[in-house]
Amino acid sequence: MTILIVEDEPAIADTVLYALQSEGLAAHWVQNGRDALEYAQQHGPELVVLDIGLPDMQGFDVCRQIRSFSNVPIIFLTARNSEIDQVLGLELGADDYVTKPFSPRVLTARIRSRLRTAPERPATGIQIDREGKRILMNGQDLNLTRYEYEILATLIRGTGRVFSRQQLMDSAWDEPDASFDRTIDTHIKTIRQKIRTVDPEADPIETRRGLGYAFRTTPS
């Protein structure tokens, strides 16, 4: 299991590498976007820590390109407030971000929490019926519309991972551009209501403010 560190400043990379290694986590360090993409494609790291200001390309573009072939958790390292706004606003499919200067302990805690959630299975009692385009909760049909089905199925298949509204739209609509962002929020609201009619205590869809939605790994 390897964590890919993409950071052009050796002093920062050293701090991160040291913090991870002292916690027994293996890491591989690259200094630019091109090497990051090559490594991610060939070695499939468990998680990517991605600086935004890289010498050859923006971390945003690295993230977009990684997302075209991988669901690996991505944590951005941001240096300025304007970058945070971009991380949140662009909905790139990043899972988290840490602002510089950061404490190595904070970063490793974030990494550990993403690694914990990534490979786990969805909350119990949820079942996707692909043939019938139905999702069952505790054996009961949630009676989802086509779009609701596609959205929830995407969240369940990527349990633990945050999906941006754009990504959910892409998964559900044939022509994503024709719809407005808020539509996803409306569908999520309806899906939550339908889940509650089956199990009033269940709240398996988590809202990650500014990032999107995720299906929880454990029943809440």
Rounded to a whole number of angstroms, the minimum distance from the CB of residue 9 to Ca ion is: 5
Rounded to a whole number of angstroms, the minimum distance from the CB of residue 100 to Ca ion is: 9
Contact between 51 and Ca ion per CB under 5 A: yes
Contact between 35 and Ca ion per CB under 5 A: no
The residues near 158 (Cβ < 8 Å, ≥ 6 apart) are: 71, 214, 215
Q: Where are the alpha helices (DSSP H) in the chain?
A: 10-22, 33-43, 59-67, 81-90, 104-117, 146-157, 165-172, 182-198
Interaction with Ca ion in 155-214: which residues (CB under 5 A)?
none
Q: Contact 48/40 with Cβ under 8 angstroms?
A: yes
> Quick one: tokens of 145?
């519309």
Task: Count the residues of the shown chain that bind Ca ion, applying the rule CB under 5 A.
Answer: 3
Rounded to a whole number of angstroms, the minimum distance from the CB of residue 30 to Ca ion is: 12
Residue at 51: amino acid letter: D
Contact between 53 and Ca ion per CB under 5 A: yes
The closest of 217, 141, 150 to 183, measured between CA atoms, is 150
Decide whether 8 or 206 has the Cβ nearer to Ca ion: 8
Rounded to a whole number of angstroms, the minimum distance from the CB of residue 51 to Ca ion is: 4
Each residue 1-20 as x (binds Ca ion by CB under 5 A) or -, in order, gives -------x------------
- Residue ranges that bind Ca ion, judged by CB under 5 A: 8, 51, 53
